[in-house]
Amino acid sequence: MKFSELLEIWRGTNLEFSEIILAQEMIETGRDPEKVKLNLRRLMLVMLEEAEKNFGKKFHTLTGMTGENGYKFSSYKPLMISEFNHVATTVALSMGESNASMGRIVACPTAGSCGVVPGVVYALKKIVNASEEDLLKAFIVGSGVGNVVAKKATLSGAAGGCQAEIGTATAMASAILTYYFSQNPEYVGHASALAFKSLMGLVCDPVGGFVEVPCVKRNGSAVNVAIICSEMALAGIQSVIPFDEVVEAMYNVGKSLPESLRETGLGGIAATKVAQSIVESIKKNWENS
């Protein structure tokens, strides 16, 4: 189902939007809405638990290319961003590094983009003191946005570039924030579209094929894109292009990307001299270990 169709149901019934999303999932898949809700609650609580445990932690990752970004950012006193952004960014970096060290993460929607949604969910709980029930409603709405992308396009970096992974995560995170603060699905659509458009065309170019560089730091920057796009939507700024059409455009852009820019580690920054040198060094270290 398109996001616009979910909006039409909401306009006609004025029901709680998260319940509309759950009901639509039942219509399409036959899954019990209460069981889906229970599973989403479990995933959200795992995110919060891991974000708390890994906040600003140092990690020993597979390659050593990352591991201290979350720690450094948590120890840094920001000069420009808010406490909310600082917490969200620290979580996004830390979860990306946890993934790179084989830690427990929720792929949301993928492992490479696992820090963005936990970043905003944890910041809402920690800074805004959001209740579990209000967070869950917003989380369900965010999952509904991700579900639209999964069914109408792709979530795979190999199929659509990093825009499909980190772009979807950013749209979901922006949806969560926007719904939490407004309970207005129309604002959600605009925030998600604005977020997606901000990352349109982003290539998937992991150095050596490892989900570390640039993936971890992209989570950190993307969570801030989610925040500012939500702020714009809450201010009444609208996306000229509807969310469904933005998703379609992303899919078409992804299909047009060359294979070298779709998770193969052959193009983008993965093809730079420094990246190639790092990969050779990693291989030699592994051979000698």
> Each residue of 229-268: pLDDT tens digit?
999 999 999 999 999 999 999 999 999 999 999 999 999 9
The pTM for the full model equals 0.98
Mean pLDDT of all residues in the chain?
97
Of 125, 133, 136, 123, nearest in space to 94 by CA: 123
* pLDDT the model gives residue 177: 99
- Phi then psi for residue 78, to 5 deg, are -60, 145
**Per-domain residue ranges for the chain?**
3-288
* pLDDT the model gives residue 116: 98
DSSP 1: -
For the chain, report the end-to-end CA distance as a whole number of angstroms: 51
* pLDDT the model gives residue 112: 97
Provide the sign of the torsion angle of the four alpha carbons 111, 117, 120, 122, taken in this order.
Answer: negative
Q: Does residue 13 register a pLDDT over 80?
A: yes
Question: What six digits make up the tokens of 200?
Answer: 């349109």
Q: Which residue has the tokens 């917003």?
A: 138
Triad 86, 68, 83: Cα angle to 5°? 5
Q: Which residue has the tokens 């898949």?
A: 29
pLDDT in tens, 148-180: 999 999 999 999 999 999 999 999 999 999 999
Q: What is the CATH number of domain 3-288?
A: 1.10.4100
pLDDT in tens, 43-52: 999 999 999 9
What's the rounded mean pLDDT across residues 193-219?
Answer: 97
Of 164, 171, 194, nearest in space to 116 by CA: 171
What's the rounded mean pLDDT across residues 70-90?
Answer: 98
